[in-house]
Every structure is written in C-alpha cells, then in structure tokens.
Structure 1
C-alpha cells in the first residue's frame, strides 16, 4: 500500500508535464514564425504569390512541347494522337449544360528489349489547365489494350497502349495545356490543346 501512495504523485506529475508540453506545442503552432531576418539575409523574396500561369508559361514547363497529332513525335515512345470528335460511346457520359467533352488519345509504345518489364504510367491522372487558374481532371477513359496497360498504373513493354482520356470543360474555353510526366517516358511533355 505505501508503494501505491508513492506512485500516485509520480503519475500526477507525469500527466501534468505531458499536458503542459502539449499546451506549449499547440499554443506555438497557431502563431506565425518571424523569419523575415533570415530570408533577408538569404536574399529570398519574402512575399510569395500564387501566380496563375498563362498558356505560354505552362507550355514552357515541358521539355517536349507538342500538340495532338504532332508528326514529329510519330515514332516516339509517348505522344498524343489527334483529338477525337466525341467521347467513346461505351462510356455513356451525360451532357452537362455549358460544358463539352474533350477526348485525347494518348499512345505509349516502348519498343525496346524490355519484354515483360513494366513502368509506372498514370495517364488517367494527367490534368488539363486552361491558363486561367482552372484545372480539369479526367472524367473517364478507355483502355484499348489491357495487355499494355494494367491496374491503372502499369505499362508493359513492348506492347502499344492507347488510352483515350475524356475531360469535361466549359464551352467557352478554347485552349488548354495537358501536362504529361511519367516514369514510363524520360521527358515531361506539355501538350497544347486548341478547340
């Protein structure tokens, strides 16, 4: 019994210390940290603004700047084919007033000797950017070769994968940039979409 009485103050003291430490941590998380002197010393601009990149600035982000159906990329591993006039019928997509569908066929075809090897390839996560601060995700897609692209992220060479990506965009928007980067191909692509 005497040992139990000695342990009670120890437990209470421990809980008070833990609670005090938690209070100190949480009270200091709310306050902004003043780093202006450090940033001035480092020569860093203190004000960072979230600037909207226009179409030209977005295109400059790609190592390969291209467009759907670009004949210069016909023999390359990755490319965008000419836009389709409508989404694939098997998707049964519903129209939305003020919006239209854009269907972009992407081809991935690595003809190297890595038969059966796969690389990470997620075209279904590529977004369209309108250069006005809006991004559009893939609404749906069609995989035309299940041997080439599996599990929504694996490309198997030397098969030819064609994935038709479907986006829904406002009718008044005319120009977009599709930013394509993947482990499956070495250079990031910016693909200019003009409707």
Structure 2
C-alpha cells in the first residue's frame, strides 16, 4: 500500500495489523478492555512483541473475559508466571486482575465503551499528521483519561499507554494523511 504509515515496516503481521485493525474504531467493551490490557503489557517492549504473543495471551487470559479474570487470585498469577507464551511480569499480571474488577464497575455503571468514547464525543478525533515526527506520544486528553482510569482502579495506564490505546482503538485517527487508511477511517460510521 503506497503511503502506508512507516511504523509497521515490512513484517507481514505488523502490516496486516496496520491495514485492518490499527485505528479502526472499536465499540465493544470487552474488546476495548483487551486492547487496553495488551497496551499495558507492551510497556517497555515493542508492539510487535505483543502482537506475536496475542493468541497466547488470549489463551492464557480466558479470551480476555474480564468477568472471569476478576475472580482470579494468586494461583492464577503463579500459573501465568510459568507461561512462556506471554510476557511474564508479576505486576502486569496482577494489574490485569484489578483492571478486570475496575472494568466490571465501569461496565455496570455506564458501559466501558460509553465511558471511553465519551472522552471524544462518541467519534474519532481525526488528526492531520504529515510525518511520524508530528505524532505525539501523549496528549492532554490521554493524560486526563489516564488519571481517570487510575482513579477508577486501573493500573499500567499512563498517558503514553493510553494514547497508544486511543490510537489502536480508533478514538484518534493518527494514520498519516498520506496513508490510505487515513481517508478510509476519517468517517468510519
């Protein structure tokens, strides 16, 4: 695809992710939670590492069903720490359990999808970035959402993680204007 965002390089898995998932608006509460959790696991690593392990993560974490994970405890943490198919980080694993509990509270109160999409008025913010250097690592909005998620009980959701999440789930369209995905996703609904 001529003009594709350069960050995905030539790796077929990464290219497919860029072309079919990244920046596509996601409105499913469980899928949004999964992506936030995976972005938290990505902290300190490259996204391609997480993408290559995504199916193993799904198998290890009960297909990212927060209602199941919210009930987990130390037995499951120890099991996951032995799983070579995922990122074995005790803090991130424990955070996934507490994040599932926080998700349940928000989901019951208003829907996790509504909670998140209210930050952007229910539709993507369409940016007009010309180069990768123009794309910020975080924004005042991602900083606010990060603070609010932390108040709600979430962990591993700093402003940079939250902005990467917002990009991934299409809350912001950060495809470069030269990328064909930018125009395709500018009016997704």
Q: TM-score range by the shorter chain?
A: under 0.3
Q: Which structure is higher in RCO with an 8 Å CA cutoff and minimum separation 6?
A: 2
TM-score (norm 2): 0.22
Structure with a larger share of its residues in helix: 2
Structure with a larger share of its residues in strand: 1
Q: TM-score, structure 1 length as denominator?
A: 0.22
